[in-house]
Amino acid sequence: MIKLLVVIIVIFLLFYLDKMDKKKEKTLKRKLERVKSYKEVVSLDDYEKIIKKYSLEEIDERVNIQEKFITSKHVNEKMRYLLITPKNQEIKNLPLVFLFHGIRDYPEDWITRGMLLENYFELLEKKLIKPMVFIIPAAGFNGESWYSNFYKDEKHKYENYIMDELYKEAKKISNGKIGIAGFSMGGYAALKIGLKHIEDFQIIGSFSGAVSIIRMSLNRRVIRLMKYLYIPKIFFKKSQDKINFLRIFSPWGWRILKQDPYTIIKKMEPEKFKGKSIYISVGEEDKEPYLMLQQWTDIVGRLKKYNVDFQGYIYKNQYHTWSFISKDIENFLKYFSKKIDKEVEE
């Protein structure tokens, strides 16, 4: 009888309250207006960008693009990543950026869809940034790993792989300052891993990231009760993504919260953020189905509340697409380079 009652309560909290929240659009509009007023937030209206094209020959003249593999002790698959380095230049002390792709995407998407190299070359030509190194890992688990350690699964410890093996490879390549950033699922991972290992990264970036993962499915009023909840997989039998989510993070609310960037920030000591910077962006139309705009609004408010050094970008008429990323990556690279230069000067 008690178990049945618990199940009924969970169903009510997960679904009914969210349906009853008729004021959520008005609430979001009000919160957006407040967040946009912050000095740290840049609102770009009808942002259009003409991306200069480069031939394969020009790309080959400027950078080395290498496919590399690591046989990991933390993951039961050979992990792959792309390494992009400037040609004809000493790279030992160059700044380095990890870039994480989204769910079911590939490292190559940063090049073919995110227009990473076109933006990078153009900024170099304009002398707005300096040369840097990029490491773009495959997420693993068919692109659905969330770059995380799976719950009670010793064969799928992707966060351990990133920090214990891939990060060490990066340090062999360059001793420069290191940034970590990503899109969507990758934005979640970059912010979570960046926060949990903040001593290892100078700049953290999340582009349309799932930065408040509880917010993806739950009403705000339910979030406060999350640590008391157990979410049976049976509720999500028609959604493979949600079943996979519970497989990774566990069905226990308190365990999920331990992996939630929005919650992690609140629990961190303020001095941990000293000398660290966060870039957080979103498209203003990125509302459904996973509420990325709402998550962005939540996290910006939290960063402001805790006096974290951050820069927020919100783009009008932009959605959850690689097309958005091809516009946003320019601003992140400028932000990253500016912060690195400032640290060097100081």
- What residues have CB less than 8 Å from 314, skipping those under 6 apart? 32, 36, 41, 42, 43, 44, 281, 282, 283, 284, 296
pTM: 0.92
Q: pLDDT tens across 287-314, in order?
A: 988 899 999 999 999 999 999 999 999 9
Continuous segment of H or E residues that includes residue 299: helix 292-305
Q: pLDDT tens across 44-71, in order?
A: 987 778 888 999 999 999 999 999 999 9
pLDDT value at 127 more than 50? yes
SS3 breakdown of the chain: % helix, strand, coil, rounded to 5? 50, 20, 35
Question: What gap in Å lies between CA 18 and CA 184, rounded to an integer?
Answer: 23
316 SS3 class? coil
Q: pLDDT tens across 234-251, in order?
A: 666 667 788 889 899 998
Question: What gap in Å lies between CA 34 and CA 31, rounded to an integer?
Answer: 5
pLDDT value at 346 more than 60? no
The answer to whether the Cα torsion of 86, 91, 93, 98 is positive or negative is positive
φ and ψ at residue 54, rounded to 5 degrees: -125, 140
Exposed/middle/buried for 220, CB within 10 Å: 0-12, 13-18, 19+?
Answer: middle
